[in-house]
Amino acid sequence: MRIYPTLFKLVFTPMDPEKAHHVGFWGVNTLRKTGVSNIGRKVLAPHPSLKTTVMGLDFPSPFGLAAGFDKTGAGIAALANLGFGHIEVGTVTGQAQPGNPQPRLFRLVEDKAVINRMGFNNDGAATVGPRVAAARADFDHEYADKTRPIIGVNIGKTKVVEFDQAIEDYLISTRTLAPQADYLAVNVSSPNTPGLRDLQAVETLRPLLKAVREEADRVVTDRRVPLTVKIAPDLADEDIVEVAKMAIELGLDGIIATNTTIAREGLGLTSDMNKVHEIGAGGLSGAPVARRSLEVLKLIKSSVGDQLALISVGGVTTGRDVQERLDAGADLVQGYTAFLYEGPLWAHHINRELLKIRKGA
């Protein structure tokens, strides 16, 4: 019998979603501080047969936690102890910022979805960098005898920075975070920072990615930090193909597809549409974006083959969902929204289901 669904219904559902997030995050970190999650690290660790090598990095599982849950790098080790193969921190910006006014996080429980307009609230690159470095050091000690979880860092534009200064803003984060991260993800696809998605246009994205790639290579000389770009599901198919081809041309390592969607129609939502429209602007994530996310994955795979690592995210809930993405060409799969609905054992359940699928059970 699973306890979390009842806990979610009785405790978290009546609570403001952002407050519930902080309470849950506090709980995960508290378990680590008390030593309980260290036991979890051993019990919930992915089976060795799930290990996969992507972008030159060894991941203990192909399933990881997408950016958005740990925006500040404050819970990396505690989250990894739950069984995620990688934790993507962020989005982190060059300057600390509070994000958009509250309320800014909304549940669509009937659809197992979330609408957010958080606005990259985070502590800034200078503060997050040492936390990532400390987590990597902890991993080197705690996972000395096995494959350790991977730490990615997702970087974005500071809201107050003008569009024509965006590249330098991303380079501030690159200089600070590339030496600490296992890989970097350039986020140009959140709908909650004004003008950010304009950076997805090839003519503006090309110089940005080129500059970040060169800066990462300049500041990290003892290894090559893999670089990915995260794109929106709302891009036209032809634009997605152009971005993928450009990523190859620039020597990027992968694409993360996809971010949240600004769409509301055509998603098959069962929630009251009056409520949905009342919530207003923001990116929608969760089960309703699964179809488009899978379409984008297949489109990129058919266009570039094995020339890029593909990280699929959007609407993943079960181990079978994850395996479907892997079968469709993904090298790694990420989730986030279902974590809120499924609870702290979610990654463990997915890893266990993946193992059963691979054994033919």
Please tell me whether 69 is known to bind a ligand: yes
Give the whole-angstrom CA distance, residue 68 versus residue 299.
25
The distance between the two most distant Cα atoms of the chain, rounded to a whole number of Å, is: 55
Please tell me whether 119 is known to bind a ligand: yes
Please tell me whether 315 is known to bind a ligand: yes
Please tell me whether 81 is known to bind a ligand: no
Please tell me whether 230 is known to bind a ligand: yes
Please tell me whether 118 is known to bind a ligand: yes
Distances (CA, A) of 271 to 107, 220, 234: 10, 48, 21
Catalytic residue of the set 37, 173, 189, 190: 190
- Whether the ω angle into residue 204 lies within 30 degrees of 0, i.e. cis, is no
DSSP letters, 161-186, are: S-GGGHHHHHHHHHHHHTTT-SEEEE
Please tell me whether 68 is known to bind a ligand: yes
Q: Residue 301: CB partners within 8 Å, gap ≥ 6?
A: 310, 328, 329
Please tell me whether 359 is known to bind a ligand: no
Number of CB atoms found within 10 A of residue 273's CB? 11
Give the whole-angstrom CA distance, residue 34 versus residue 312.
34
- Is 190 a known active-site residue? yes
Q: Residue 64: CB partners within 8 Å, gap ≥ 6?
A: 84, 85, 86, 87, 88, 149, 150, 152, 332, 333, 334, 335
Please tell me whether 327 is known to bind a ligand: no
Please tell me whether 100 is known to bind a ligand: no
Give the whole-angstrom CA distance, residue 134 versus residue 320.
34
Please tell me whether 71 is known to bind a ligand: yes
Give the whole-angstrom CA distance, residue 158 versus residue 73.
17
- Grouping H, G, I as helix, E, B as strand and the rest as coil, residue 19 is helix
Q: Which of 46, 85, 89 is nearest to 64 (CA)?
A: 85
Please tell me whether 317 is known to bind a ligand: no
Please tell me whether 117 is known to bind a ligand: yes
Please tell me whether 70 is known to bind a ligand: yes
The binding site for FMN consists of 67-71, 91, 154, 187, 230, 258, 286, 315, 336-337
Q: Which residues are catalytic?
A: 190
The binding site for substrate consists of 71, 116-120, 187, 192, 259-260
The binding site consists of 67-71, 91, 116-120, 154, 187, 192, 230, 258-260, 286, 315, 336-337
